[in-house]
Amino acid sequence: MDDLYRENIIDHYKNPGYKGRLVPADLSFEDGNPLCGDELQIDLQVDENGIVTDARFEGHGCAISQASADLVIEDIIGKNVEDLKKMSKEDVLDLLGIEQLGPVRLKCALLSLKVLKGAIYGIPQKDEDL
Ligand code: ZN
């Protein structure tokens, strides 16, 4: 397991750049990963053209889930929500610098994508639909 906790992940976990809340937020969603106890909320501000102008996350859980949220937020600011609907699990794993994860850790890594898409669509997302 230790080799999964690469320096980049630990760094984003310990010193997240985008942790906090946006009040008011245009889009906001929260979900959790009961297998690990990770919880995550994502707030987005979106302009009239559908561009994410700012975003933050709040939550707690394992290093992978929280680092993934920070990396995803960093990546999506300035992007169009229509394009973010196409964001894939491979995109998130690329951000984390991880190629392969077991099923439990994969849910940790992808919680950020699940919450992001929940915010965009306004409804909870299923793991198998990510
Ligand atoms: Zn976790």
Distance from the CA of 48 to the center of ligand 1, in angstroms? 35
Rounded Cα gap, residues 98 and 56, in angstroms = 23
Distance from the CA of 82 to the center of ligand 1, in angstroms? 28
The pLDDT tens digits for 78-128 are: 999 999 999 999 999 999 998 888 998 999 999 999 999 999 999 999 988
**pLDDT at position 1, please?**
44
**pLDDT at position 106, please?**
94
Written in H, E and C, the secondary structure of the chain is CHHHCCHHHHHHHHCCCCECCCCCCCEEEEEEECCCCEEEEEEEEECCCCEEEEEEEEEECCHHHHHHHHHHHHHHCCCEHHHHCCCCHHHHHHHHCCCCCCHHHHHHHHHHHHHHHHHHHCCCCCHHHC
The pLDDT tens digits for 5-51 are: 688 899 999 999 999 999 999 999 999 999 999 999 999 999 999 99
Distance from the CA of 108 to the center of ligand 1, in angstroms? 4
Closest CA to 33 of 3, 61, 6, 11: 61
